[in-house]
A = this chain, B = another copy of it.
Amino acid sequence: MKSDLSNLMRARDLDALMISCPDGLLSVNTAFRYFTGPAHVTNGHIVVARRPDDADLQITLVHTPMEREEAARTGLRLHSLGNYDLREIYQTVNGDRLAGQVELTRRLFNDLGVQGRVCFYGVDERGSSYIFLDALIDANFVEVVLEYGDDILSEARKTKDADEAAQIRAACRLTGQVIGATREFLRGHRVSNETLLKPDGNPLTVGDVKAFIRREEAALGLDDPGCIFAIGRDAGVPHSAGAASDAIQLGRTIVFDIFPRLPGGYYADITRTWCLGYATDEVLQAYALVKEAHDRAEAMLDSTRPSWEYNEMVCDLFEAHGHPTPRQNPGLTEGYVHSLGHGFGLAVHEAPAMRLRALTGNDDPLPPGSVITNEPGLYYPDKGWGMRLEDDYWLNPNGTLERLTEFDCELVVPM
């Protein structure tokens, strides 16, 4: 969490971090939003500086003059780009845009007292990133440090503090409302020949349901990158988002995996599997087993055992009932075909994870503060079905487990 940053920077001997967000890239610039939060600051820089005689970091938001009011909402120390006369800077470098950006950075670092080893973050075009950082290395007024994976911000973001957990809890609660409204929406349709019909007599489709879901999310202020609502064979393919033209029919498995985020950027990630009206015996049995895997993993969740134990337990259970698992065959397309869970927060996928022992490579437990999904599933596309059950949890830093999702796990939806 953020309070770890000071120690992480000391351990890597970093004096400062600079996290940049160019105009237009805020939606994916999670490292920038990690500091700016729900305030609508669309571009600028975060400068995190370690001060030699003080444990506290100095975190400054470098903002455009136009966004001064939103910038103030972050509660961060502010520094305006309006302090710099860009025309004058470009004149001093004969209009060279790259040299101008380097000179602006030099003045900025000088004014903020940034020196020493500085690590650079934020999303941007690859070519511009290379050329700018290369020029900065040449200019040599700080030591440019770069990371390829295993970066310090991802390390800090592995665990969430109470404020972050509160935002994720709020996203989960609203997402639960959308799931409930969607079930009622489905139940409100009449059925003919096992098919749900709209008032105009045409079959209700996956596309219609997704439009309903988008409207519900929008009404609650949730931003949706696109959910999975997949029926029948598509439900058996974990990454199929569902075909818009598919009709909604009774008795077939529907995998509904929804992962929207709040304006502050924190996601929820919940999956329910439904069969409208009835389910076949085969599906009922498989679902009972998935539910058992889910509940056993939930009961084990803590910060003591190696993070691979959960998924190994689920593989034991599924294999004992004859379902193939990736432990036996990494490339399989039926049975239990993915990992048990993943962290999330400002991104839908973050560290840590609950994976196989062979893929984990260490015996580290889930650290206190982890926010993680628990999502066992079984997939048989050739039999025309698939299922997954996904809830979210926060391993409270005090040692207790909190389930962040509340929605019931009923498979069969009475019509």
Contact = CB atoms under 8 A, between A and B. Distances in A.
A253 to B, nearest CB: 19
A333 to B, nearest CB: 10
Nearest to A67: B239
A119 B148 CA distance: 21
A133 B148 CA distance: 11
A385 to B, nearest CB: 18
B123 A126 contact: yes
Contacts of A221: 211, 214
Interface string A197-228: 00000000000000100110111010001100
A148 B99 CA distance: 11
B126 A122 contact: yes
Interface of A: 20, 23-25, 27-28, 40, 66-67, 69, 97-98, 119-134, 146-149, 151, 211, 214-215, 217-219, 221, 225-226, 239-241, 347-349
A14 to B, nearest CB: 12
Contacts of A27: 27-28, 225
A99 to B, nearest CB: 11
Nearest to A347: B24
The 4 nearest A-B residue pairs measured at CB: A214-B218, A218-B218, A127-B146, A126-B129
Contacts of A25: 28, 123
Contacts of A67: 239
Given A28-B24, A219-B211, A348-B24, A127 B98 contact: no
23 contacts: A24-B28, A25-B123, A28-B28, A40-B241, A98-B148, A121-B127, A123-B125, A123-B126, A124-B124, A124-B129, A126-B129, A127-B133, A127-B146, A128-B148, A129-B130, A130-B133, A131-B146, A132-B148, A214-B219, A215-B215, A215-B218, A217-B218, A218-B218
